[in-house]
Structures are given as structure tokens and as C-alpha cells.
A and B are shown apart, each in its own frame.
Chain A
Amino acid sequence: MAEEALVASPLEKYLRRPGFPTIWCPGCGIGIATGAMLRAIQRLGLNQDDVVMVTGIGCSGFIYNYLNFDGFHGTHGRALAVATGIKLANPRLHVIVPMGDGDCAAIGGNHLIHAARRNIDLTAIVINNQTYGMTGGQYSPTTPHDGLAATAPYGNVERPFDLCQVAQGAGASYVARGTTYHVLQLERLIVAAIEHKGFSFVEVVSQCPVQYGRRNQLPSAVDMLRWQQRHTVSPQVAASLSPEQLKDKVVTGELYSREAPEEEYTYRYRQLVERAQGRAVHE
């Protein structure tokens, strides 16, 4: 019965069965985010052979292992650097880069800001569970101030990144934030991100009940998803709130978009090649 249901799923063609069951803990948000990403790919009707999934290291680094696309699982933090090489070498490919918050924003932070600055046509999807799940719940660059973590037993002394502001400030031409609670919205945001010509960045506020929630009074996935439900506001609503009111809110939706395909890196590189070969109409 269950088997039949799986075969009937329109997403089945995107799954690589030998990889299952996934390594993710019960209640993990990565599967929800991955599902939204696959539905977005399905909705866009992308040629499955033209999609490359590039991952780094950590819980989200395993996404490629369950998916039926060309895939890459490399070194911690370096997914965007590898993706840049793939995209530049073969601009026809849709290069999608799922990462975690530690992977993307800590060890990989330099690559994030420079991929955004170049505005290269990659789709970065950062599944932000606010912790290093795989290594046991240490604090990450997105752990809230005062949050408890395996390496913050007295509360996190640091300030967290607003990843979307980082991406936008660095030059990303599409920036959005969704959650694993608002799955339909998340799917729409990823559709727009993949369609966008240029560096697109989607932060997925996700839950890690095992390593983060249990330490921070949100012991189950349901608790954490309810938290998302209660604390998210749209950019329109956020605009009418005071900084004080916004303090414990997460703004979700499309946060920034700049349609300028002629600013995209591989497009500009093609123009450079034409200049170098003397084929350009004018310098």
C-alpha cells in the first residue's frame, strides 16, 4: 500500500531509492525543504538532466544522496565555490546549492558574499536550523543571542546573522525567506529563485528539535513549527511594525528582487570572451 503511494508520487522520478532511509532525525525540517525544492523543480518542468545539486557538509549536505540528479558532495563550506566552477564551465546547467547555516554562513561565508557579489546564476537554498545538527548542536552564526547550544551552555554570547540581509548587501539579485511551516509559500519562493537569472538566495527557517529545540524550550517539531507559525510576518506587515514589535518576528516572503539578466556573471563572461576574440561590435 505504502509502496504504491510512493510510486504514484509525481516526485518519485527525482528520488534515488538506494539512498533511503534518510539520515535525518524524526522531526527534521530538511525533508520538508527538500520536498518544496523538488515540487518547485517539477512545477518549472526543468529537464532533470540539466540540474546539478551541489552540497557541502552537514545534515543538509546529504540531500544529494537521496536525489536523482547529477550531484556533488564536497568539502565543508565550499559548495558555492564548486557550484561557481560548474556553472561557469557549463552555463546551460541549473546549479542548485542546498546548504546549512553553518556550512553557508560560517565556514562558507566568504563564498556566499562573493557568489552574491558576482551575481552568478546559482540558486542557493540555506536550510537554517540555527545549529550544527550533525556534530551535536553547537552554536552557529544564526543561533539567537542567549540561545542554548552544546558549546553555549550559558547562552549564546554572539549576535546572529540576518542571512537575507547579508545576501542582499553582498549583491544577490533575488532574496527570499520561507519556513518549513509555510510549505506552499516556500515552494513558490523556490520556483521564483530558480527562474531568476542571477544569484538567488532562499533562506528556509527550519527546525531541529533534537539538537536545538530540546535545549530551548521547544522540545518537539510541532513546538518549533508552531513557533514559526506565530512569529512570521510578511514584508508588508513588517513595514507597519515598530522595531520593538519586530524583535521576535521573522519576515518571510520575497524580500528583494532585481531583474537584470544582463548583470548576470556567465552572461557577462560570454561578452568578455567575445571582446577577447575581437567579435564584439564595440569595446
Chain B
Amino acid sequence: MSEVVNKPHLMSGNEACAEGALAAGVRFFAGYPITPSSEIAEIMSRRLPQLGGVFIQMEDEIASLGAVIGASLTGLKTMDATSGPGFSLKMENLGLAIMLEAPCLIVNVQRVGPSTGMATFPAQGDVLMTRWGTHGDHPIIALAPSSVAECFHLTVKAVNLAERFRTPVILLSDALLASLREKVSLPTDVERVERKRAVAPPESYRPYAPDDTGVPPFVPYGAGYRWYASSSLHDEDGHEATSDTQVAHGLIQRLHGKIYDHLSEIVLAQEESMADAHIAILAYGSVARSARGAVRMAREKEIKAGLLRPITLWPFPADMVRRWADQVEAIIVPEMNTGQMVEKVREAGGGRTQVLSLPRWDGRLIPPEDILEKIEEVARG
């Protein structure tokens, strides 16, 4: 029996996330109800038992990521879904998953903050929190879909990246995508990446000794290897090394290296109408939809605009920005926040082109007309 429907039909972003996770092989979901992500949990509560998987609604947001991490170490592909306030609560366990190298997918359906904010209105205010919300130096992978189809495909990609690099991966959706319904055709089969298993016998197994890509081969709990996962700084045998600065240096470096040495496997970005562009719009997530419309409208007015769309937000596709910074007069960065990613764009392209922020933080999608207005302003000089 195919696990994925393939005839074209209407589906929401939340549904596509759930279906993507199931297609990618997620068999454990723990979550806590929160608007606008709850629908993902509801779908998982219906579908996972049918597939012999586990769904549990935990007592709070912290516990749900805790349960996910525990299940991940038994070898299952795991997932949690939440929104802003819940994402805030998960920050400590996000760091735990990074430290233990426990693969998991966390979907954050962004809504307006701070605090309770506006629960049903979209935002992109968690972009920097996704990057730096948990304490200490750490890498993070985050992907941002901008269509329902992408909610499916990037969820699959996120699960695969989590397993490949033994790390949590964040899917940054938003309240608009969550309930947006689009016609999509889902594949009957998707590429599934399986966590690399250790081949060493128990006597010589070193749970945190990396392979040549910096990722330690995995053994699930209960397999007779008797290894342990520690949130404290640990050596390659997994032993606590809380006063060994050399071990600390090496582990934190490796955690970064396994991500940053493999950017070509991780960083996705799209360029549209850029070949002859004088003005670039850099937009991600839902806002990229408006930006695409604005580019089309600008072109109709014979203004050469193009779209740069980071799909992977973290690590940030700085190379793409650097490549285009010398080619365009300006990069306009519309975001549903007060200007978060624009700083990364300035860092990569500033000094060589103008980088202009176009922020909006009231819970409304930036309309194409507002972006077009900014394009025209730049074009007038």
C-alpha cells in the first residue's frame, strides 16, 4: 500500500507537512496543541497509528521535544510541531538535540509575537530565534517553504537532512501557509535518507567518534552497545568531559563542521528572472510569493527586477547574495518582521550594493504592490 496519495488534490500547508513527514518515514510524533500548528498533530494522531507509529500529545511543549529526543535515540524518525510560544519553550531541548546529535524535525508555524501576539496571523519573526534561540554556540539547519507543495517536499528534505547529519532541523512555515489550500500532486515515493548505523562491534564502538563526514554512526538504545548520550561536554566515547578544554574545542568545532563542511548538501536557494536584473528582491517563505508577483509587475513596466529566494534560511545562502551584490543596484528585503534577515544580506552584500529593508510586522502578508512601489522607488533613483 502506498503511503502517499498521488492524485492532484487540494491540500493545506499543514496537511502537506504531515504528509511529507509520513512519506519521509517519520514514525514518532510528540506535540502539544497550539494555533496555528495543531492540525499537523491532529493528522499525525490519525495517520501514525494506522502505520504502526507512535503519536503522543505531551503535557507541555518542553516534554514533547523531550519525548521526541528519547524516541530518536531508539532509532525512529521523529517530529514535533509548534508555533511561536511553544517554539520559545523548546529552546533548551533544541540545544539538547544538537548536543546529543539526536535527529528530529521541528515544524514552527510562525505567528505574530512577541508573547501570545496574534495567534492566527502570519509572521516571520522567529527567523533569528531559530538561528540563535538556544544558548551556546551551535549550528542549525532551517528550511522555509513558500507553497503547499514545498511544505511537502521540504518536510521530506528536512527529515532527510536531520538523519544525514544527526541534527534537529527546523521547518519554518507560517500561519498563512498553514491554512492556504493549493492543488498539489504528491509523489508516490520519495527519497528517504537513513541514519548511518555503526558497523563496529560493541567492544570497539565509540558513540561520538565521527565518520569521515563528521557524523557519528548511530546505534539505537537496546542494541547491546550500552552507550550513553550526555548533554554535558563529552569525548568520543561519550564520557563526560566537563573540564577538558581540548575536548570542548573539538566537539563544538565538529558540530559546526559537519554542517558547514557540507553546505552543498544543505543550502537550497532559487534565482528567478535574475539574468538581466538591475534590482533584486530577496524574499523567503510566504513573502516570496508576493515578491514573485512584484517582479512580474515590475517587468511589465520594463523594470528589470529579479527574485533571490533562500529556501534554506540557515545556514544562510550568503554565496548567492555575494554573487549578485556586484550585479544589481539594490537588494530589497521584504520580511514579515521588523528586519531580521536583512542583516545577513547586508553582511554578505553590503558595501557593494544597497540593501533595503521592507519590513511589515502587523500580521498581514506584504502585498506585491508594496514591493513594486519599493522597486519603482529604487528604479527612479
Give me the interface of A with B, judged by CB distance under 8 Å. 18-19, 48-50, 52-54, 57, 62, 64-65, 68-75, 78, 81-86, 88-90, 92-93, 110-111, 113-114, 269, 272-273, 275-277
- Contact at B67–A82, with CB atoms within 8 Å? yes
6 contacts between A and B (CB under 8 A): A69-B228, A71-B227, A71-B228, A93-B222, A110-B59, A111-B63
Q: Give the residues from 234 to 268 in chain B that come closer than 8 angstroms, CB to CB, to chain A.
A: 237, 239-240
Give the chain A neighbours of B62 by CB distance below 8 A.
78, 81
Extra contacts, 15 of them, besides A65-B239, A85-B28 (Cβ < 8 A), are A49-B224, A68-B226, A70-B227, A72-B73, A73-B229, A73-B232, A78-B66, A78-B93, A81-B58, A82-B66, A84-B56, A84-B70, A86-B70, A86-B73, A93-B221
Chain B 97-133 interface 0/1 with A at a Cβ cutoff of 8 Å (1 = within): 0001000000000000000000000000000000000
| Residues A88 and B50 in contact, CB atoms below 8 Å apart | no
Q: What residues of B have a CB within 8 angstroms of the CB of A273 in the complex?
A: 49, 52
What residues on A are CB-neighbors of B70 within 8 Å? Answer: 54, 72, 81-86, 89
B54 proximal to A (CB < 8 A)? yes
B71 interface neighbour in A19, A88, A114, Cβ under 8 Å = A88
Interface residues on chain B, size class: 35 or more
Q: Is the CB of A85 within 8 A of B67?
A: yes
Alpha-carbon gap, A89 to B67, bound state (A): 9
A53 to B229, CA, bound (A): 10
Q: Is the pair B66, A81 in contact by a Cβ cutoff of 8 Å?
A: yes
Identify the closest chain B residue to A274 (Cβ). Answer: B49
Q: How far is the CB of A190 from chain B (nearest CB, A)?
A: 20
Q: Is B30 in the interface zone, CB < 8 Å from A?
A: yes
Evaluate contact between A84 and B231: CB separation under 8 angstroms. Answer: no
Per-position binary interface string of chain B over residues 16-51, scored 1 when its CB falls under 8 Å from any chain A CB and 0 otherwise: 000000000000101000000000000000100110
B226 touches which of A48, A75, A93 (Cβ 8 Å): A48
Q: How far is the CA of A201 from the CA of B239 in the complex (A)?
A: 28
CB distance from A31 to the nearest CB of B (A): 17
Q: Is B96 an interface residue (CB 8 A)?
A: yes
Counting CB contacts under 8 A, is B225 at the interface? yes
CA distance A14 to B125 in the complex (A): 49
Q: Contact: B222 with A50, CB < 8 Å?
A: yes
Which residue of the partner chain B has the closest CB to A265? Answer: B56
> A272–B56 contact, CB under 8 A?
no
In the complex, what residues of B have CB within 8 A of residue A269's CB? 54
Q: A73 contacts which chain B residues (CB < 8 A)?
A: 228-232, 240
**Nearest CB on A from B57, distance (A):** 10
On chain B, the residues within 8 Å of A19 by CB distance are: 239-240
- Of B69, B225, B237, which contacts A85 at CB under 8 A? B69
Q: Is the Cβ of A81 less than 8 Å from the Cβ of B67?
A: yes
Residues on the A chain within 8 Å of B231, using CB:
57, 73-75
CB proximity of A257 to chain B, nearest CB, Å: 24
* Distance of A93 Cα from B64 Cα, bound (Å): 20
Contact A89 B232 (CB under 8 A): no
6 shortest interchain CB distances as A-B pairs: A85-B70, A71-B228, A81-B66, A85-B67, A276-B49, A81-B63
Considering the complex, give the chain A residue whose CB is closest to the CB of B30: A85
**Inter-chain contacts of B92 with A (CB < 8 A):** 75
Which residue of chain B lies nearest to A64 when distances are taken between CB atoms in the complex? B228
Chain B proximity of A112: nearest CB distance (Å): 10
Residues of B within 8 A of A49 (CB): 222-224, 226
* Contacts known (A49-B224, A70-B225); A272 close to B49, Cβ less than 8 A: yes
